[in-house]
C-alpha cells in the first residue's frame, strides 16, 4: 500500500511542477518577446544613424567632386539613391543597409528620410531617428 501512495504523491508533485512551469512560461514569454522587439527597434534606429552618416559622406563627396547638390525626393534601391529610375548617388556603408525607403534632400542636406531595416520603419527628421508605423512619402 505504501508504494502506491508514494507513486500517487510523486505523480501529484510532477503535475504541480508542470502547472507552475506553465504559469511561469506564460508570464515570461511575452516579456522576453517585448525585450527582443525593443532590441530590434533600437538596432534599426542605430542603423539609420549609421546609414544617414554614409549618405551625408557620399553627398558631400558629390558636392566637392562636381558641385552637385541633391534636391527633392530620392528612393533607396540596392545601395543607391534614385530619382525617377535614374541613379544619382551610390552609398558606401559598412553597417546594415536598408531594404527600401526614401531620402528627401534640400540643397544637398538631408531634410527627411524613412528607411526600412529588416521590416522596421525608421524615420529621420534631420536631427533624430524614431521607429514609425510606415514609410509614407511626405512631399
- Check: CB of residue 51 under 8 Å from CB of residue 124: no
pLDDT, the chain, mean: 88
More confident call, 84 vs 139: 84
Q: How far apart are CA 87 and CA 2, in angstroms?
A: 83
Q: Where are the domains of the chain?
A: 2-132
CA distances from 132 to 34, 45, 62, 65 (A): 16, 10, 30, 35
Upper half-sphere CA count for residue 123 (Cβ side, 13 Å): 11
**pLDDT value, residue 93:** 84
**pLDDT value, residue 29:** 92
Q: What is the pLDDT of residues 35-71, one digit of tens each?
A: 998 999 999 999 999 999 999 998 888 888 888 888 9
Cell of 83: 530619382
Give the torsion sign (CA, 30, 33, 38, 39).
positive
Q: What is the pLDDT of residues 86-124, one digit of tens each?
A: 998 889 888 889 999 999 999 889 999 999 999 999 999
Amino acid at each position: 500500500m505504501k508504494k502506491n501512495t508514494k507513486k500517487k504523491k510523486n505523480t501529484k508533485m510532477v503535475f504541480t511542477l508542470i502547472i507552475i512551469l506553465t504559469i511561469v512560461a506564460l508570464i515570461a514569454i511575452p516579456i522576453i518577446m517585448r525585450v527582443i522587439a525593443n532590441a530590434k527597434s533600437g538596432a534599426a534606429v542605430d542603423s539609420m544613424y549609421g546609414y544617414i552618416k554614409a549618405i551625408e559622406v557620399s553627398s558631400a563627396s558629390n558636392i566637392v567632386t562636381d558641385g552637385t547638390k541633391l534636391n527633392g525626393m530620392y528612393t533607396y534601391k540596392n545601395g543607391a539613391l534614385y530619382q525617377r529610375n535614374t541613379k544619382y548617388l551610390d552609398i558606401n556603408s559598412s553597417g546594415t543597409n536598408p531594404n527600401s525607403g526614401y531620402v528627401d534632400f534640400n540643397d544637398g542636406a538631408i531634410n527627411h528620410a524613412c528607411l526600412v531595416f529588416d521590416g522596421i520603419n525608421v524615420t529621420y527628421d534631420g536631427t533624430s531617428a524614431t521607429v514609425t508605423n510606415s514609410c509614407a512619402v511626405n512631399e
